[in-house]
Amino acid sequence: MLKIGHRGAKGYEPENTLVSFQKALDMQVEGIELDVHLSADGEIIVIHDETIDRTTNGKGFVNNLSLHELKTFPIDGKHQIPTLKEVFDLVNQDCFINIELKSYEATDKVVSLIEKYVTKKGWKYDRFLVSSFDWNALQQAAFLNDKIPIGVLTETDLDLALAFAKFIQAKSIHPHFHLLTKENTAKIQEKGLQVFPWTINELEDIQKIKVFNVNGIITDFPNRI
Ligand code: G3P
Ligand code: CA
Protein backbone atom coordinates (compact mmCIF):
# COMPACT_ATOMS: atom_id res chain seq x y z
CA MET A 1 0.00 0.00 0.00
CA LEU A 2 1.84 3.09 -1.24
CA LYS A 3 1.67 6.36 0.73
CA ILE A 4 1.21 9.32 -1.62
CA GLY A 5 1.39 12.78 -0.04
CA HIS A 6 -1.34 15.07 -1.38
CA ARG A 7 0.10 18.47 -2.39
CA GLY A 8 3.07 17.27 -0.32
CA ALA A 9 1.91 16.85 3.25
CA LYS A 10 -0.95 19.34 3.13
CA GLY A 11 -2.16 18.35 6.59
CA TYR A 12 1.06 19.70 8.13
CA GLU A 13 2.56 22.36 5.83
CA PRO A 14 1.22 24.85 3.27
CA GLU A 15 0.13 22.89 0.18
CA ASN A 16 2.36 22.62 -2.89
CA THR A 17 5.43 24.20 -1.25
CA LEU A 18 8.95 22.81 -0.98
CA VAL A 19 8.53 22.46 2.80
CA SER A 20 5.37 20.46 2.25
CA PHE A 21 7.14 18.10 -0.17
CA GLN A 22 10.09 17.78 2.25
CA LYS A 23 7.66 16.95 5.06
CA ALA A 24 6.14 14.19 2.94
CA LEU A 25 9.63 12.80 2.21
CA ASP A 26 10.38 12.91 5.95
CA MET A 27 7.26 10.76 6.41
CA GLN A 28 8.75 8.15 4.07
CA VAL A 29 6.19 8.50 1.29
CA GLU A 30 6.55 6.43 -1.84
CA GLY A 31 5.02 9.28 -3.87
CA ILE A 32 3.97 12.91 -3.75
CA GLU A 33 1.08 14.48 -5.65
CA LEU A 34 1.15 18.08 -6.92
CA ASP A 35 -0.72 20.36 -9.33
CA VAL A 36 0.64 22.42 -12.21
CA HIS A 37 -0.29 25.47 -14.27
CA LEU A 38 1.78 27.57 -16.72
CA SER A 39 2.97 31.09 -15.94
CA ALA A 40 2.63 33.92 -18.48
CA ASP A 41 6.21 33.25 -19.61
CA GLY A 42 5.66 29.50 -19.98
CA GLU A 43 7.24 28.17 -16.78
CA ILE A 44 5.64 25.13 -15.12
CA ILE A 45 4.31 26.38 -11.78
CA VAL A 46 3.28 24.14 -8.88
CA ILE A 47 -0.03 25.48 -7.61
CA HIS A 48 -3.53 24.04 -7.32
CA ASP A 49 -5.81 26.93 -8.29
CA GLU A 50 -5.77 28.90 -11.55
CA THR A 51 -5.30 32.06 -9.45
CA ILE A 52 -2.91 32.89 -6.62
CA ASP A 53 -5.70 34.46 -4.53
CA ARG A 54 -6.33 31.65 -2.03
CA THR A 55 -2.78 30.52 -1.30
CA THR A 56 -0.69 33.73 -1.49
CA ASN A 57 -1.01 37.36 -0.44
CA GLY A 58 -1.45 38.38 -4.10
CA LYS A 59 -4.23 38.35 -6.66
CA GLY A 60 -4.45 37.29 -10.28
CA PHE A 61 -4.36 34.39 -12.69
CA VAL A 62 -1.20 32.29 -12.74
CA ASN A 63 -1.13 32.45 -16.55
CA ASN A 64 -1.20 36.28 -16.46
CA LEU A 65 1.87 36.52 -14.20
CA SER A 66 5.53 35.87 -15.03
CA LEU A 67 7.64 33.50 -12.95
CA HIS A 68 9.44 36.52 -11.49
CA GLU A 69 6.13 38.14 -10.49
CA LEU A 70 4.78 34.88 -9.03
CA LYS A 71 7.88 34.54 -6.86
CA THR A 72 7.16 37.91 -5.21
CA PHE A 73 3.88 36.69 -3.64
CA PRO A 74 4.62 34.57 -0.56
CA ILE A 75 2.58 31.65 0.69
CA ASP A 76 1.94 31.98 4.44
CA GLY A 77 4.26 34.99 4.53
CA LYS A 78 7.46 33.03 3.88
CA HIS A 79 7.31 30.35 1.20
CA GLN A 80 7.74 30.94 -2.52
CA ILE A 81 5.54 29.26 -5.12
CA PRO A 82 7.80 26.52 -6.55
CA THR A 83 8.43 25.56 -10.15
CA LEU A 84 8.12 21.92 -11.15
CA LYS A 85 11.86 21.81 -11.78
CA GLU A 86 12.54 22.96 -8.19
CA VAL A 87 10.39 20.11 -6.89
CA PHE A 88 12.17 17.56 -9.14
CA ASP A 89 15.52 18.76 -7.76
CA LEU A 90 14.31 18.59 -4.14
CA VAL A 91 12.86 15.10 -4.53
CA ASN A 92 15.89 13.84 -6.45
CA GLN A 93 14.22 10.46 -7.18
CA ASP A 94 13.57 9.74 -3.48
CA CYS A 95 9.91 9.10 -4.33
CA PHE A 96 7.75 9.20 -7.46
CA ILE A 97 6.11 12.47 -8.44
CA ASN A 98 2.43 12.45 -9.43
CA ILE A 99 2.04 15.58 -11.57
CA GLU A 100 -1.60 16.58 -11.97
CA LEU A 101 -2.07 18.67 -15.12
CA LYS A 102 -4.53 21.42 -14.22
CA SER A 103 -4.24 22.96 -17.70
CA TYR A 104 -4.01 21.26 -21.09
CA GLU A 105 -1.45 23.87 -22.14
CA ALA A 106 1.07 22.55 -19.59
CA THR A 107 1.11 19.06 -21.14
CA ASP A 108 3.88 19.44 -23.74
CA LYS A 109 6.17 21.28 -21.31
CA VAL A 110 5.70 18.71 -18.56
CA VAL A 111 6.47 15.87 -20.99
CA SER A 112 9.61 17.72 -22.18
CA LEU A 113 10.82 18.32 -18.62
CA ILE A 114 10.33 14.65 -17.73
CA GLU A 115 12.23 13.62 -20.86
CA LYS A 116 15.05 15.99 -19.91
CA TYR A 117 15.39 14.42 -16.43
CA VAL A 118 15.37 10.93 -17.98
CA THR A 119 17.85 11.59 -20.78
CA LYS A 120 20.17 14.14 -19.12
CA LYS A 121 20.05 13.06 -15.46
CA GLY A 122 19.32 9.34 -15.76
CA TRP A 123 16.00 9.39 -13.90
CA LYS A 124 13.73 6.40 -14.45
CA TYR A 125 10.30 6.92 -15.99
CA ASP A 126 8.76 5.21 -12.97
CA ARG A 127 9.73 8.27 -10.89
CA PHE A 128 6.86 10.11 -12.65
CA LEU A 129 3.10 9.69 -12.92
CA VAL A 130 1.12 12.22 -14.97
CA SER A 131 -2.56 12.52 -14.07
CA SER A 132 -5.46 14.79 -14.98
CA PHE A 133 -9.22 15.17 -15.03
CA ASP A 134 -8.61 16.53 -18.55
CA TRP A 135 -8.39 13.28 -20.50
CA ASN A 136 -7.41 15.14 -23.69
CA ALA A 137 -4.26 16.23 -21.85
CA LEU A 138 -3.57 12.60 -20.89
CA GLN A 139 -4.09 11.43 -24.47
CA GLN A 140 -1.67 14.12 -25.64
CA ALA A 141 0.94 13.09 -23.03
CA ALA A 142 0.62 9.42 -24.07
CA PHE A 143 0.90 10.41 -27.75
CA LEU A 144 4.04 12.47 -27.11
CA ASN A 145 5.80 9.77 -25.08
CA ASP A 146 4.29 6.36 -24.42
CA LYS A 147 6.85 5.56 -21.72
CA ILE A 148 5.49 8.16 -19.29
CA PRO A 149 3.20 6.54 -16.70
CA ILE A 150 -0.34 7.95 -16.89
CA GLY A 151 -3.03 8.09 -14.19
CA VAL A 152 -6.67 8.69 -15.15
CA LEU A 153 -8.51 10.89 -12.64
CA THR A 154 -12.24 10.59 -12.12
CA GLU A 155 -14.80 11.67 -9.56
CA THR A 156 -17.85 10.41 -11.45
CA ASP A 157 -17.52 7.39 -13.74
CA LEU A 158 -15.22 4.50 -12.94
CA ASP A 159 -16.25 2.36 -15.94
CA LEU A 160 -15.58 5.17 -18.39
CA ALA A 161 -12.24 5.88 -16.71
CA LEU A 162 -11.33 2.20 -16.99
CA ALA A 163 -12.22 2.08 -20.70
CA PHE A 164 -10.21 5.24 -21.38
CA ALA A 165 -7.27 4.02 -19.29
CA LYS A 166 -7.12 0.81 -21.33
CA PHE A 167 -7.36 2.83 -24.55
CA ILE A 168 -4.35 5.03 -23.73
CA GLN A 169 -2.52 2.22 -21.89
CA ALA A 170 -2.48 4.12 -18.60
CA LYS A 171 -0.78 2.79 -15.50
CA SER A 172 -3.42 3.69 -12.94
CA ILE A 173 -6.89 5.01 -12.17
CA HIS A 174 -7.24 7.73 -9.53
CA PRO A 175 -10.87 7.73 -8.36
CA HIS A 176 -12.50 9.79 -5.67
CA PHE A 177 -12.53 7.25 -2.85
CA HIS A 178 -16.33 7.31 -2.54
CA LEU A 179 -16.54 5.57 -5.95
CA LEU A 180 -14.65 2.49 -4.77
CA THR A 181 -15.82 -0.92 -3.60
CA LYS A 182 -13.84 -4.11 -3.07
CA GLU A 183 -15.39 -5.47 -6.27
CA ASN A 184 -14.68 -2.57 -8.61
CA THR A 185 -11.14 -2.21 -7.20
CA ALA A 186 -10.49 -5.88 -8.08
CA LYS A 187 -12.06 -5.40 -11.51
CA ILE A 188 -9.67 -2.54 -12.32
CA GLN A 189 -6.68 -4.52 -11.06
CA GLU A 190 -7.69 -7.57 -13.12
CA LYS A 191 -7.35 -5.35 -16.19
CA GLY A 192 -3.74 -4.64 -15.20
CA LEU A 193 -4.24 -1.16 -13.76
CA GLN A 194 -3.35 0.17 -10.33
CA VAL A 195 -5.82 2.05 -8.11
CA PHE A 196 -4.80 5.25 -6.30
CA PRO A 197 -7.83 6.86 -4.62
CA TRP A 198 -7.88 10.42 -3.22
CA THR A 199 -8.04 12.30 -0.90
CA ILE A 200 -8.41 10.06 2.14
CA ASN A 201 -7.65 11.76 5.44
CA GLU A 202 -9.85 10.30 8.17
CA LEU A 203 -8.57 7.14 9.89
CA GLU A 204 -11.96 5.50 9.54
CA ASP A 205 -11.93 6.05 5.76
CA ILE A 206 -8.31 4.92 5.45
CA GLN A 207 -9.15 1.68 7.23
CA LYS A 208 -12.19 1.09 5.04
CA ILE A 209 -10.30 1.67 1.79
CA LYS A 210 -7.29 -0.43 2.86
CA VAL A 211 -9.62 -3.47 3.01
CA PHE A 212 -10.23 -3.03 -0.73
CA ASN A 213 -6.51 -3.67 -1.34
CA VAL A 214 -5.95 -0.50 -3.34
CA ASN A 215 -2.39 0.00 -4.59
CA GLY A 216 -1.89 3.32 -2.83
CA ILE A 217 -3.66 6.13 -1.01
CA ILE A 218 -3.39 9.86 -1.74
CA THR A 219 -3.64 11.72 1.58
CA ASP A 220 -2.90 15.04 3.28
CA PHE A 221 -1.59 13.02 6.27
CA PRO A 222 0.92 10.46 4.94
CA ASN A 223 1.84 9.25 8.44
CA ARG A 224 -1.74 8.01 8.97
CA ILE A 225 -1.50 5.33 6.26
O1 G3P B 1 -4.90 13.96 -7.69
C2 G3P B 1 -5.93 13.76 -6.79
C3 G3P B 1 -6.54 15.02 -6.27
O4 G3P B 1 -5.53 15.92 -5.97
C5 G3P B 1 -7.52 15.64 -7.23
O6 G3P B 1 -8.22 16.75 -6.68
O7 G3P B 1 -8.69 19.14 -6.31
O8 G3P B 1 -7.07 17.97 -4.85
O9 G3P B 1 -6.47 18.48 -7.22
P10 G3P B 1 -7.58 18.14 -6.24
CA1 CA C 1 -4.38 17.49 -7.28
Three-state secondary structure call for residue 82: coil
Q: Does the ipTM surpass 0.90?
A: yes
Classify domain 2-224 by CATH number. 3.20.20.190
Q: Is the CB of 199 under 6 A from ligand 1?
A: yes
Ligand (nearest to CA of 16): 2
What mean pLDDT, rounded, does the chain reach?
98
Pick from 68, 12, 15, 17: which is nearest to 40 by CA?
68
Ligand nearest to the Cα of 151, by number: 1
pLDDT at 120: 98
- 179 C-alpha to center of ligand 2: Å? 17
For residue 98, give the ligand 1 atom closest to its CA: 1
Q: What mean pLDDT do residues 35-40 have?
A: 98
Distance CA 173, CA 45 (A): 24
Q: What is the pLDDT of residue 151?
A: 99
Question: Which atom of ligand 1 is found nearest the CA of 133?
Answer: 5
Mean pLDDT computed over 117-134: 98
pLDDT digits (tens, 9 = 90+) for 38-64: 999 999 999 999 999 999 999 999 999
Residue boundaries of the structural domains of the chain = 2-224
CA dihedral defined by 116, 120, 123, 126, rounded to 10 degrees?
40
Q: Distance, CA 4 to ligand 1 centroid (Å)?
A: 12
pLDDT at 195: 98
